[in-house]
Structure 1
Amino acid sequence: MANPLKFVQEVRAETSKVTWPTRNETLVTTVMVFILVFLSSVFFFVADQILNWIVSFLLGLAG
């Protein structure tokens, strides 16, 4: 990378070749990510509560 100007020109040429997502595609993808994050957090919360109950039950038997 001896010539920074050439590098910048090549970067601009490559970014012009990229197929950028539309606004609607970006919105749909963002909503899907939020939904999956919410569902994952609910799943792990429920799993944590169940495991907490099981461990408490087993420790209660031992004590």
Structure 2
Amino acid sequence: MTVGTQLQQTIASAQSVAANLKSFALQTQDQQAKQMFNQLAQNMDNTISALQARFNYISSEEPQYKQQ
């Protein structure tokens, strides 16, 4: 498994986590919990952006990581 493939899987997992956190925020009535879930979701979105930027970089620099 290449680094590119591993990064794609990690990005997909992180997106799933972010979606779950956003769902939890919508489902709870506890404002403190809602704020926590929203903050965690924002942190995940930032992480996803960083991972995606890294994936884009290695895809452009390393031909073996390009999707086929």
- TM-score (normalizing by structure 2): 0.49
Structure 1: gaps (5+ residues): 1-18, 56-63
Counting aligned pairs with the same residue, the percent is: 5
> Kindly tell me: are residues 51 and 26 of structure 1, through their superposed partners in 2, closer, same or farther at Cα, counting changes over 3 Å?
same
Moved segments of 4+, more than 2 Å? none
Please name the residue that 1:54 is paired with: 62
Tell me which of 47, 50, 54 is aligned to 1:42. Answer: 50
Q: If you compute each CA radius of gyration, which structure gives the higher value, 1 or 2?
A: 1
The structure whose RCO (Cα within 8 Å, separation 6+) is larger is 2
Please, what is the CA RMSD of the aligned residues? 1.7
Total equivalences in the alignment = 37
Cα distance in structure 2, aligned partners of 1:50 and 1:20: 39
SS of the aligned residue for 1:21 comes to: coil
- TM-score with structure 1 length normalisation? 0.53
Structure 2: unaligned runs, 5 residues or longer: 1-26, 64-68
